[in-house]
């Protein structure tokens, strides 16, 4: 059985370029709909570039955190929308 962390990483890997999901949507896809704060904590510790955690945003549409900085998150999202 996969851990919650593994399920979160799998869900985030499936987000296509130019698209985003909310922390809540990722939590739901990972099987724990109320664990959106846990999703944020897991993604904050991610250093694997194959997991595009910059594609996960807050429910209100704001960016939320990113372990490489909010400016980098915004830049990556803008670049992907332009592709």
DSSP 27-47: HHHTT-TT-HHHHHHHHHT--
53 in catalytic set: yes
C-beta of residue 12 within 8 angstroms of C-beta of residue 6 = no
Catalytic-labelled residue, pool 27, 43, 51, 53: 53
**3-class secondary structure, 50:** coil
**Active-site residues: which are they?**
53
């Amino acid at each position: 059985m996969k851990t919650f962390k593994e399920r979160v990483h799998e869900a985030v890997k499936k987000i296509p370029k130019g698209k985003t999901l909310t922390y809540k949507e990722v939590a739901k896809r990972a099987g724990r709909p109320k664990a959106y704060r846990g999703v944020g904590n897991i993604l904050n510790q991610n250093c694997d570039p194959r997991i595009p955690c910059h594609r996960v945003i807050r429910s209100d549409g704001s960016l939320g955190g990113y372990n490489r900085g909010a400016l980098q998150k915004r830049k990556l999202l803008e670049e992907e929308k332009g592709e």
